[in-house]
Structure 1
Amino acid sequence: MLDNLTDLIEKWAIDKNLHEAAPEKQMLKLMEEVGELAQGLAKNNQEQVIDSIGDVYVVLTILSMQMRMAIGDCVEQAYEEIADRKGKMVNGVFVKEGDLP
């Protein structure tokens, strides 16, 4: 399902010529969307959180296109980094083994 949605996002971005826009501008858009996500979390607004997570994915998909990368490849590489990561929860945050005191 996510692959299909990603294809639709990419098509939409191409139709709007966003894939050729400046990545620096898209990065600003990403920060805006992350700010809205933080606001939704702070206000315990689940609808805003859901919308913001989706918006962040859309913006990251377009940013990856602008950088001539595939979002799936980026996610795969990130997963390969964390797949065997060891660590523990500290005050509700996962801290990787190498960063533990």
Structure 2
Amino acid sequence: MIDVLKSKIEGWAVDRNLHTADPVKQMLKLGEEYGELCAAMARDDEDKIIDSVGDMFVVMTILCKQLGVQMEWCINGAYNEIKDRKGKMINGVFVKESDLTDADTSN
């Protein structure tokens, strides 16, 4: 299903000539959408959280199209980087092993 939606987003972008627009502008749009997600999280607004995550996916899909990279390449690269990662949860945040200090590992 996600591939179908991604394809529809890319088609929508091409129809509006967004695929040839300045990717810097698309990056700024991503920052805007991220800010909306942060605000929604702060307000515990589930509908806005869902909307913001979806908007960020749309913006990132268009950004990838503008840059000539496949979203799948990006996701695959990120997964390969984390798949064997070890670390520890500290105050609700996963800290990768290489970033842990001696104080972090003594607990």
SS of residue paired to 2:95: strand
Counterpart of 2:81 in structure 1 is: 81
Aligned residue pair count: 101
Following TM superposition, by how much is the alpha carbon of 1:73 offset from its aligned partner in structure 2, in angstroms?
1.1
List, as ranges, runs of 4+ consecutive aligned residues in structure 1 with deviation greater than 4 Å.
Answer: none
Report SS of the residue matched to 1:88.
strand
Tell me the secondary structure at the aligned position of residue 68 of structure 2: coil
Gaps of 5+ in 2: 102-107
After superposition, what is the alpha-carbon deviation per residue over 1:8-60, rounded to whole angstroms, capped at 9, x for unaligned?
11111111110100011001000000000000000000000000000001000
Root-mean-square deviation (CA), in Å? 0.6
TM-score by length of structure 2 reads 0.92
Tell me the SS of whatever aligns to 1:19.
helix
Specify the structure having the higher radius of gyration (Cα).
Answer: 2
* Distance across 2 between alignment mates of 1:4 and 1:77: 21
Shift of 1:72: 1.2
- The answer for the alignment partner of 1:15 in structure 2 is 15
Whole-Å Cα distance in 1 between the matches of residues 68 and 53 of structure 2? 23
Letter in 1 for 2:59: V
Q: Secondary structure at the match of 2:75?
A: helix
Aligned to 1:57: 57
Displacement of 1:67: 0.7
1:20-39 equivalent positions in 2, closer than 5 A: 20-39=20-39
Q: Percent identity?
A: 55
Ranges in structure 1 where 5+ consecutive residues have no aligned partner = none
Cα distance in 1 for partners of 2:35, 2:53 equals 11
Q: Who is 1:66 aligned against?
A: 66
